[in-house]
Structure 1
Amino acid sequence: MLDALEVVTTVVVGLMVGVEVSVAFVINPILGALPEDSGQLGRSRGGRMLGAVMPVWYIGSLALVAAWAVAGWHHDGTGLVVIAGTLLILSVVMSLLLLVPINNQSKTWTPENRPEDWKEQTRRWDRFHYVRVAVIIGAFTLLVAALA
């Protein structure tokens, strides 16, 4: 049973990391290169869609990691799982304090109602997101190491 939990947790966290890496290094650069208002409209749509899905994914990943840590408490690698869980908690806190407030505003923007500093707010979200991506990559790496 523990083996299945370890694999499911690693896959779920790995897929989450993949989506976030894709947003940071593929999707947002593509949207940023689109002409006129297309990129901003795309980011608003992405903010609404991913803003609904990612909280469940982050909390679900954290719950799976916590379950793994509890179920495998006396097994090798549990310390790595606990550290990975701590990094996931950090990523949730970062999200709630830094990224969600910007996302909640930007997902409603249109070319007609966006603030004058919308580009700076978008760049600030991107910078915070890069740090969050690094944190969750670290968590994922620790989970993979705990499997070995």
Structure 2
Amino acid sequence: MLNALEVITTVSVGLMVGVEFSVAFVMNRIFNALPEDSDQLARAHGGRMLGAVMPVWYIGSLVLTAAWAVIGWHQHGTGLVVTAGALLILSVIMSLLLLVPINNQGKTWTPENRPADWKEQMNRWDRYHYARVAVIVAAFTLLVTALV
């Protein structure tokens, strides 16, 4: 059972890292290159779509990591799993305090109602997102290391 939990947890966190990495380094660059209002419209749509899915994914990954740490408490690598869990907690805190407030505003914007500083707000969201990606990449790396 522990082996299955380890694999499911690692795959779940790995896929989450892949999505968030893609948003940071692929999708946002594509959006920034779109003409006229398309960038803002794409970000608003992405904020609505991923804003609905990612909270479940982050919390689910954290719960799986916690279960791995509890069930495998006396196994080799548990300290790495606990540290990965702490990093995932940090990523949730970062999300709630830094990214979600900006995302909640941005996902309602249209070209007609967006604030004048919308690009600055999106740039701030991007900077916070880069930091969060670094945190979840570190968590994923620790989980993979705990497997070997």
TM-score after normalising by structure 1: 1.00
Deviation at 1:19, TM superposition (A): 0.1
Q: Which runs of 5+ in 2 are unaligned?
A: none
The 3-state SS of whatever aligns with 2:74 is coil
Distance in 1, Cα, partners of 2:8 & 2:55 = 18
Distance in 1, Cα, partners of 2:24 & 2:129 = 7
The alignment yields a C-alpha RMSD, in angstroms, of 0.2
Q: Which runs of 5+ in 1 are unaligned?
A: none
How is 1:87-106 mapped onto 2 (pairs within 5 angstroms)?
A: 87-106=87-106
Distance in 2, Cα, partners of 1:40 & 1:97 = 22
In structure 1, what residue type is equivalent to 2:8?
A: V
Deviation at 1:117, TM superposition (A): 0.4
Runs of 4 or more above 3 Å deviation: none
CA offset digits 1:28-79 (Å, max 9, x no partner):
0000000000011000000000000000000000000000000000000000
Aligned residues: 148
Deviation at 1:3, TM superposition (A): 0.2
Within the alignment, does 1:33 sit opposite 2:33 as a pair? yes
| Counterpart residue number, 2:74 | 74
Distance in 1, Cα, partners of 2:118 & 2:3 = 46
In structure 1, what residue type is equivalent to 2:3?
A: D
Kindly, what percent of the aligned residue pairs are identical?
A: 80
| Counterpart residue number, 2:138 | 138
Distance in 2, Cα, partners of 1:38 & 1:119 = 13
